[in-house]
Amino acid sequence: MAYLMEPKTVAVIGAPVALGQNLQGVDRAPEFLRKAGLQQSIEELGWGYEDNGDLWPELLKSENEAVGGVKYAREVGLACRHLEDKVAKLAQAGQFVLTLGGDHSIALGTISGVLRARPEATVIWVDAHGDFNTPETSPSGHIHGMPLAGLMGYFKPGSLPGFEWLKPSLTPDRVALVGVRSVDRAERELLRKSGIKVFTMLEIDRYGIGVVMEMALEATNPERNRPIHLSLDIDGLDPNIAPSTGTKARGGLTYREGHYICETLAETGLLGSMDLVEINPQISHLFDGTGMSNTEQMNATVELGIELVASALGKRIL
């Protein structure tokens, strides 16, 4: 992997952005992941660990102002702009960049930064949702449902204050969505017309996760010669195994399917960066189908996040 330096180093960035949605607690995920042993899990695999701290708190203050129906655009845009710079710098240095959200709006910054450093990069986006709404189509006005559309140039120029810096950086042939099962009506039409390869849970049920991952890589990286960025929303997994998240959708990826995705990407030797988003330690009580206590649900979700990072960095059963 020419774009990764030796010795291998994971550069961690905390991005406790919660303003892309409306539930408190997702901003605490970086703290919980660190306390639960993220560093130890990474170092046990032979990787170096470099913690770059969190985004400046002043970037995350809210003015509670909606613009064109979109909530906290200025604040999220400013945070993502700084995140882009931070990610680009670390990626240019050849490190594996691991960004801990926060909600999925942070992908506007992380992927912009990765593509600035590694313009040929491709994206595997694991999510229950399409994240392909625009300010005009979004029913909620929450930016965490819009980042993929924004990265592909579907935001009208000047429509969102705070995002003046954002430039279209992804093309349909370099991104695949995996695990989708909850899509808004207008968003569905945009996705159908976009040219993006979308692998819903129907495709995973029909073909199996092994075939789906092969198809996703073939669609986005047919020569297997481009670096890969994994943007992993924990709600892509079924809420019975990842209950501490804000926008749940039943019928998601199983424990082993989630790990298989990460293991397969690690085996390519091309995975160079990753987002882990939407873990919310404070809202496990909103879902009661697991038979677990609130604390058990939170611990299970945080531990799963760390396990998926480990699989993406090369951990195997044997």
For the annotated catalytic residues, the residue numbers are 104, 127, 129, 131, 144, 233, 235, 278
ω into 69 cis (within 30 of 0):
no
DSSP string, 237-269: B-TTT--SBSS--SS-B-HHHHHHHHHHHHHTT
Distances from the Cα of 88 to the Cα of 73, 119, 157, angstroms: 22, 11, 23
Count of other CB atoms within 10 angstroms of residue 4: 17
- Tokens 């899990």 sit on residue: 41
How many angstroms separate the CA atoms of 8 and 218, rounded? Answer: 27
* Preceding omega of 7 cis (within 30 degrees of 0): yes
How does strand 122-126 pair with strand 228-233? Answer: parallel
CA distance 15 to 111: 13
Q: What share of the chain is helix, strand, coil (3-state, %, to 5)?
A: 40, 20, 40
Residue with token string 């890589």: 217
Among the listed residues 74, 57, 52, the one whose alpha carbon sits nearest the alpha carbon of residue 17: 57
